[in-house]
Structure 1
């Protein structure tokens, strides 16, 4: 399964880059993550609980980062084993570029599943994989920008009227 998309994130490239390399940030961004430990150099260990159709499983896996070009691009590669449910593995090529409002994040994802999960059918699996990728990048965007306020209009005025504390600032106490 292959998919690609992009997101406009109202945060500087350096802040988005730092969030992608942080275990704490990944814990908040990966849907169903119960634990994420490790670092960008050695890789991350993760425990994720997900329900795909009728199959609910706890996946334990590892995520490695490669092809790091600071502030520009990286590749995330991961594999998780869910016991009797099967396995999921895949990767994402992520690129960052400065934009008028902050950072344009683009990604291409390839994912594969096996075991019981593979028996659910490609349409269900493809929809689930797209939902997971969308949720991850939505969570990343929210963690960097802060939650949207009800009735708040997008733009500089709204950002100035209701300053938001980004994940990076919360992490560093800034």
Structure 2
């Protein structure tokens, strides 16, 4: 499935570009993500996802397959597998930066393939979750690059002073909110109705 998002960061294009190319800057801003290693344009890490009472831990790799300094556009390929064998996730993320009023506009297009339990949420709900995760990521990134919160970033070697972000799993049910409830409540209501009907029929036969 294809997901498209846009957000604005209150910092100049060169600073946002340098930050987005640095996994050590990006990982602390992404909910549930933990960086475990960096090797050139490649990196390894984990993403923790909560689906109701079930917690899934995806362990995987990522690599920038294309980086165009002239137009500030990059393509990232990432893949991961749940450590308990409950599914996989692969994504090709294309990001483009342009100057905008008040900072930098970031356009992100994600080609996402998910298998296993999270895939049961469906395209619409995954889109809702994706939008909220991106919004939270943008908020954390803006806080780190804003002049009141961190030092300016000018090169890959000059990074902002990062504040700790709570390393909590992405709660898919909580993130989707009302759309999930609309899907779940009719099912629960149906089960309750069936249970009541069965109870009445049993009462009649006694």
TM-score normalised by length of structure 1: 0.76
CA contact 2:145–2:151 (8 Å) conserved in 1:
yes
Q: Quick one: distance in 1 between partners of 2:150 and 2:160? A: 11
Summarize the alignment of residues 40-119 of structure 1 with structure 2, pairs less than 5 Å apart: 41-70=40-69, 72-82=72-82, 83-119=84-120
1:127 corresponding residue in structure 2: 128
Give the one of 159, 173, 179 matched to 1:171.
Answer: 159
Give the SS at the match of 1:84.
coil
Matched, 1:139 2:140: yes
Q: Quick one: distance in 1 between partners of 2:8 and 2:160? A: 24
Larger radius of gyration: 2
State the Cα distance separating 1:17 from its structure 2 match. 1.0
2:22 corresponding residue in structure 1: 22
Give the SS at the match of 2:19.
helix
Give the SS at the match of 1:60.
strand
Residues 116 and 172 of structure 1: CA distance in aligned 2, closer, same or farther (over 3 Å): closer
Report the aligned-residue RMSD: 2.5
Residues 52 and 143 of structure 1: CA distance in aligned 2, closer, same or farther (over 3 Å): farther
Structure 1's unaligned 5+ residue stretches are 147-162
Residues 166 and 5 of structure 1: CA distance in aligned 2, closer, same or farther (over 3 Å): farther
State the Cα distance separating 1:167 from its structure 2 match. 6.8
Of Structure 1 and Structure 2, which has the larger fraction of its residues in strand? 1
Per-residue deviation, residues 116-170 of structure 1 (Å, max 9, x unmatched): 3323444433332333333333322222126xxxxxxxxxxxxxxxx33247388
CA contact 1:143–1:167 (8 Å) conserved in 2:
no
Number of matched pairs:
156
1:149 corresponding residue in structure 2: none
Residues 91 and 102 of structure 1: CA distance in aligned 2, closer, same or farther (over 3 Å): same
Residues 117 and 164 of structure 1: CA distance in aligned 2, closer, same or farther (over 3 Å): closer
CA contact 2:33–2:46 (8 Å) conserved in 1:
yes
Give the SS at the match of 2:74.
strand
Q: Quick one: distance in 1 between partners of 2:67 and 2:93? A: 12
Structure 2's unaligned 5+ residue stretches are 162-206
CA contact 1:47–1:60 (8 Å) conserved in 2:
yes
